[in-house]
């Protein structure tokens, strides 16, 4: 039997395959910057990380209704199950959408109902870790998002993170938002060390993270590597994503082997599979090329998961 998989780092808005995204955009009367599958594919040729984030915001804005959110969870659960996923922590980004007039309940209810349907249909356990974004300046909104995460904890919200553009942006203003979820027993799972350097990871470590998303640039600072290993913090590594956003130039140069050699457990995920022209199979193949096995990835998934009770 193949090893079961645990996927801890997947942005649900980035899992929507091109034709489905076009259908959802049409039914919501939200024009996309491209109107064919091929057009979207060329839009997804990212020149750098910030270009990717700008494109992500443009294309994911067409997701607006509870029905959209429910559908994308169920669709991705089917895909994930086909690769042997038994448990996943999906990310969604509520703050961007609330700022566009969408209600919190539309998202939280849509996604969490999707998880119930996904479990019934495909047997995948889904939990959620919504993301704030680093460039946001409305920290009241960040804290409100944290309170919404707590409010929906019984429906499968197990943590909260911070994503988006990294360079030059501090995590520290999110301290209060992180505390709100932590005081309620949820985990804080920020992105750091993806496009920004180890200094971004040092800030993340100061906020008592349950895991760190990416964290690959820890390899540039031996003290940071050691602290992550000593504290047993799992990194959610997404090899194909790192190539597509060009934060790592070639697979041969990917830091996964150095992270492993430093004693750090790394889960393997797709990040935004539809936008990165990847899927779990391809990310596991990339990891295998780097000498990392599905068994190691599963052990890291178990160690890092916020609410996994066994396959
Ligand atoms: O690979 C990624 N790195 C960082 N942020 C990402 C990634 N994929 C999607 N997002 C999402 O981009 C939004 C930008 O405002 C954030 O909410 C973040 O969750």
Q: For residue range 36-89, list pLDDT tens digits in order.
A: 999 999 999 999 999 999 999 999 999 999 999 999 999 999 999 999 999 999
Q: Which of 90, 92, 163, 241 to mutate to test the pocket of ligand 1 (most atoms within 8 A of CB)?
A: 163
Active site residues: 194
Please report the atom of ligand 1 found closest to the CA of residue 56.
12
**What's the structural domain count of the chain?**
1
Mean pLDDT of 224-231: 98
> Looking at the domain assignment, is residue 186 inside a domain?
yes
Output the 3-class SS for 203-225.
Answer: HHHCCCCCEEEECHHHHHCHHHH
Helix, strand or coil, per DSSP, at residue 247 = coil
Q: Please give the C-alpha separations between residue 286 and each of 5, 184, 282, in angstroms, as whole numbers.
A: 15, 37, 6
**In this structure, is residue 9 part of a structural domain?**
yes
Asked if the structure places residue 311 within a domain, the reply is no
The whole domain housing 276 covers 5-304
Dist. CA 94 → ligand 1 center (Å): 11
Residues paired with 238 in a beta bridge: none
Q: How many CB atoms lie within 10 A of CB 299?
A: 16
Ligand 1 pocket residue status of 241, Cβ below 6 Å: yes
Q: How many CA atoms lie within 13 A of 264 on its CB side?
A: 31
Q: Nearest 5°: phi and psi at 256?
A: -50, -50
pLDDT reported for residue 108: 98
Q: Is 271 helix (H, G, I), strand (E, B) or coil?
A: strand
Is pLDDT at 293 greater than 80 in this prediction?
yes
The share of the chain scoring above pLDDT 70, in percent, equals: 99
Domain presence at residue 309: no
Nearest CA to ligand 1 atom 9: 11
3-state secondary structure of 44: coil
Cβ within 8 Å of residue 100, ≥6 positions away:
61, 64
The whole-number average pLDDT for the span 161-169 is 97
CATH number at residue 213: 3.20.20.140
CB-based contacts of 83: which residues, under 8 Å, 6+ apart?
A: 5, 279, 280, 281, 284
Q: Are 204 and 214 in contact (CB under 8 A)?
A: no
Q: Please tell me the distance between residue 163's alpha carbon and the centre of ligand 1 in angstroms.
A: 5
- Does ligand 1 lie within 6 Å of residue 236's CB atom? no
According to DSSP, the residues that pair with 159 across neighbouring strands are 187
User: What is the layout of strands, in order, in the sheet containing 131-133?
Assistant: 131-133, 159-163, 187-188
Asked whether 53 lines ligand 1 (CB < 6 A), one says yes
Q: Which residue's CA is the closest to the ligand 1 atom numbered 12?
A: 164
Residue 280 is assigned to a structural domain of this protein = yes
Half-sphere exposure of residue 8: CA atoms within 13 angstroms, side-chain side = 33
Alpha helices in the chain (DSSP H): 18-27, 37-43, 49-60, 66-82, 94-98, 104-122, 139-151, 175-183, 198-205, 222-231, 239-244, 256-261, 280-289, 294-304
Q: What is the DSSP letter of 233?
A: P
Backbone angles phi, psi at 96, to 5 degrees: -55, -40
Pocket test for ligand 1, best of 8, 9, 10, 11 (most atoms within 8 A of CB): 11
Residue 181 has pLDDT above 90, yes or no: yes
- Give the residue, by CA position, lying nearest to ligand 1 atom 14: 164
**Are the C-beta atoms of residues 229 and 262 closer than 8 Å to each other?**
yes
Residue identifier of the C-alpha nearest atom 19 of ligand 1: 163
Residue 114's closest CA among 154, 60, 76? Answer: 76
Instruction: Give the three-class secondary structure for 98.
Output: helix
Question: If you measure from the C-alpha of residue 2 to the centroid of ligand 1, how many angstroms do you get, rounded to a whole number?
Answer: 31
Ligand 1 centre to CA of 230 (Å) is: 28
Residue 137 lies in a domain: yes
Quickly count: other Cβ atoms within 10 Å of residue 208's Cβ. Answer: 14
Domain-embedded: residue 250: yes
- In this prediction, residue 311 carries a pLDDT of 63
Answer for the pair 268, 242: CB distance below 8 angstroms, yes or no.
no
Contact in structure between 61 and 99 (CB atoms under 8 Å) = no
Structure confidence at residue 40 (pLDDT): 96
Kindly state if the Cβ of 213 falls inside 6 Å of ligand 1. Answer: no
Q: Is residue 279 part of a domain?
A: yes
- The reported pLDDT for the residue numbered 64 is 97
From 227, 174, 238, select the one nearest 10 (Cα to Cα). Answer: 238
Q: What is the arithmetic mean of pLDDT over 265-285? A: 98
Mean pLDDT computed over every residue of the chain: 97
> Do 265 and 300 touch, CB atoms closer than 8 A?
yes
CA–centroid distance, residue 116 to ligand 1 (Å):
25
77 lines ligand 1 (CB under 6 A): no
For 103-125, write each residue's pLDDT tens digit.
999 999 999 999 999 999 999 99
- Can you give the pLDDT at residue 1? 60
């Amino acid at each position: 039997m193949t090893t079961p998989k645990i996927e801890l780092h997947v942005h649900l808005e980035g899992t929507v395959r091109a034709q489905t995204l076009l259908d959802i955009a049409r039914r919501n009367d939200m024009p996309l910057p491209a109107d064919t599958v091929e057009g979207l594919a060329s839009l997804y040729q990212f020149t750098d990380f910030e270009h990717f984030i700008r494109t992500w915001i443009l294309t994911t804005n067409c997701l607006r209704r509870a029905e959209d959110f429910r559908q994308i969870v169920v669709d991705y659960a089917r895909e994930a199950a086909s690769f042997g996923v038994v448990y996943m922590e999906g990310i969604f980004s509520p703050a961007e959408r609330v700022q566009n007039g969408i209600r919190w309940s539309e998202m939280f209810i849509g996604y969490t109902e999707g998880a119930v349907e996904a479990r019934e249909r495909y047997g995948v356990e889904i939990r959620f870790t919504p993301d704030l974004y680093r460039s946001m300046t409305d920290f009241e909104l960040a804290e409100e998002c944290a309170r919404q995460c707590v409010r929906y904890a019984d429906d499968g919200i197990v943590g909260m993170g911070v994503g988006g553009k990294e360079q030059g942006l501090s995590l520290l203003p999110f301290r209060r938002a992180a505390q709100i979820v932590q005081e309620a027993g949820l985990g804080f799972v920020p992105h750091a060390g993806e496009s920004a350097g180890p200094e971004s990871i040092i800030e993340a470590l100061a906020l008592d993270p349950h895991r760190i998303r990416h964290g690959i640039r820890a390899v540039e600072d031996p003290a940071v590597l050691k602290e992550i290993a000593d504290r047993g913090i799992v990194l959610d590594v997404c090899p194909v994503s790192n190539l597509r956003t060009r934060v790592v130039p070639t697979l041969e140069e990917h830091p996964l082997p150095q992270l492993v050699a430093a004693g750090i457990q790394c889960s393997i995920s797709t990040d935004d599979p539809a936008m990165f022209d990847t899927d779990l199979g391809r990310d596991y193949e990339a990891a295998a090329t780097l000498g990392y096995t599905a068994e190691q990835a599963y052990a890291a998934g178990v160690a890092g998961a916020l609410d996994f009770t066994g396959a």
